[in-house]
Chain A
Amino acid sequence: MSRISHPLLRKIIDVTIPYAVGITLAFIIAGITMYLTGFDVLLSYRTIFLTSFTTADSFALTLLKFITLLMLSTAFAIPLMSRKFNIGIEGQFLLGAIGATIVGLTLHLPPGIHVTLALLLGILLGALWAAIPAYLLYKFNVNEVISTILMNFIAFYLVDYVATGPWRDVVPGHPMTIPIASTSYLPLILHRPSIHIGIIISIVLTIAAYVLIFLTIYGYELRASGSNPRAANVFGINVKFLGPMSLILGGAVAGLAGAIEVTGIHYRLIEGMESNYAPLSILIALMGKGNPLAILFFAIFISVIEVGTSALQRTQGVPVELTLIVEALILIFVLVAEVMRRR
């Protein structure tokens, strides 16, 4: 490695090596475990990595998952920059979904306005859901890790209430609402396979997040308050306010993600729609260290794997929790590798 003298190239390699090591190690461990429990390792690897690219539909599915993961990761990343852990993205996501469902079921509006309102209410409710822990943090210094997680549990029950209440669709066995009005559907940019404009929204959002965090004065103050709250405070940054504010911003993004999920994919509120998006997104954001561009890259990677493991569960019976375990292992190995490299 010392042969490479060009500083930029060396820096790039320096940064990526821990990730390469981490990913490789994690998959080796997964492979060994699969082998020991009697699964066909090679076939499993092929399924995991390649399923996304085998058919147009699987590619579309990957893209749709990517949209949700990208947005939820961003929702976690923004507060992360001020050292706040917004574990509540799950609850905020669900509240956004509830908001969109309410608009979709109760209002009758022309198509453009209807869906916009659905998304707006989703953003609002997501922000509100984060505002409660944010306020507790601001006023009473309540640790946001615990408070946002508690809000998640409350959100689950809220979803159950809505999905089993007067709007319930009694036909399917699983709790869910009746479909929302078609005027509130998210427009598609592609019809076969169907891909909605969430892809544009999420990418724009990611770029906006990057600009916000690294190129604006607000982002500077955010990162400063995360880096050393005392020093930031001493030099005039309103640390007390910024942390909670970033949580609310994260909540808004997560709420938007939930609203998009309802108006773009399910067209109704389904219990369990949060799936495993939240923990996946948290790990993605941590892997990318809160940098939206890095997160974009990891989100692509994880959505491919997630589609692959779902397929693997169907064909081989390997439980889909595998994705989370592998992802957690990747993050751990990356962190370890980075420390080792510095020694």
Chain B
Amino acid sequence: MEYDIYTIIISSFKYLLMLLVPYALTSLGIMISGRAGIFNITAEGMMLLGASVTFLVTYYTGGNQVLGLLTCLAVGALFGLAFGYLTITLKLNQFIVGITFFILTSSLGSLLYKVFIGVTLTPPRVAVLPEINIPLLSQIPAIGEILFKQNIMVYLTIILAILFHYLLFKTMLGLNIRSVGENPRAADVLGINVFLVKYVTVIIGMMLMSLSGGYLLLAFTGTFTEYIVSGRGWIAIALTLFGKWSPIPILLGSLIFSGIEVTVYQLQTMGVAIPYQFLLMIPYIATMIILIWVYKRAEVPQALGKPYDREAIEE
């Protein structure tokens, strides 16, 4: 294979945008419920379960990707409801529920695959998401290939981020949602249905996490392994902090993380002198360094992580 710099650069940038999706989608999911005060750290497991479910449904329906993704959304909604019940109605500690749900969903994801597919010599595949050729624009040399010839989820993710930005900062609904995350008691006395806002955002958030997992499955190889998420769910939490719980900074920040992933991949294929294990450590080390930087710019919703009890005596 020719060592074509041009092709490498083009494909790198293309992957950059393709990989933006799992980070951004998951992070947006964490963000939206965080804005209503719920810190949901289930992501890593929910993504795995989403990937697993998407694979199984797509596989057994002979390649129906849409049905696969819809099912994974439904599963996300279900777990979102359960998560919401435990943290909003029963007011259990969000981290404890999050860790437990992480273990539950990732085990379930592995289990389902094992039960239905089991161990095989060559893992079964489903078709990968098709690219969309935007007419005219995709003919532009280089840029056309990168920006205008992606699968639909890339465009949908970017649109979603913009939509969230508009919703949260330019409408009263967004103001209401944010007030729940800042001071639920203040929102409550003004007649805002605090519980409803929390439930809806948690469910949407979990659905996005699940969808993100389904994307990971359908966008690259079409096969499922238990390593398909490999930490991106946790890194997405860091991304949410880094992006100050705001959609556009999250979207832009996800480019950094996908950029790191692409770079590591290219370094590996180029055969750099460093042992591959250390290359693979880079994304995690980089994330920790970024978290240090977050400290100085911390801007979290004030009531994040705190359960809301209307009848609680406050001083």
Contacts and interface: CB of A to CB of B under 8 A. Distances in A.
B107 A335 contact: no
Contact of B99 (A87, A147, A150, A158): A87
Contacts of A85: 95, 99
Contacts of A107: none
A146 B281 contact: no
Main SS of the interface on chain B? helix
Contact of A328 (B100, B115, B234, B294): B100
A10 B108 CA distance: 37
A149 to B, nearest CB: 5
Interface residues of B, number: 41
A204 interface: no
B103 interface: yes
Interface string A332-343: 100110010000
Main SS of the interface on chain A? helix
A319 B90 contact: no
A129 to B, nearest CB: 13
Contacts, number: 105
A7 B288 CA distance: 50
Contacts of B91: 339
B115 A158 contact: no
Contact of A153 (B90, B95, B231, B295): B231
B231 A286 contact: no
Give 6 nearest A-B pairs by CB, closest first.
A328-B104, A321-B111, A157-B277, A324-B107, A161-B277, A321-B107
29 contacts: A85-B99, A142-B291, A142-B294, A145-B99, A146-B238, A146-B291, A150-B235, A151-B284, A153-B284, A154-B284, A158-B281, A161-B278, A279-B103, A283-B103, A319-B110, A319-B111, A321-B111, A322-B111, A325-B104, A325-B111, A327-B103, A328-B100, A328-B101, A328-B103, A328-B107, A331-B100, A335-B86, A335-B92, A335-B97
Interface of A: 37, 85, 87, 136, 140-143, 145-147, 149-151, 153-154, 157-158, 160-161, 279, 282-283, 286, 317, 319, 321-322, 324-325, 327-329, 331-332, 335-336, 339
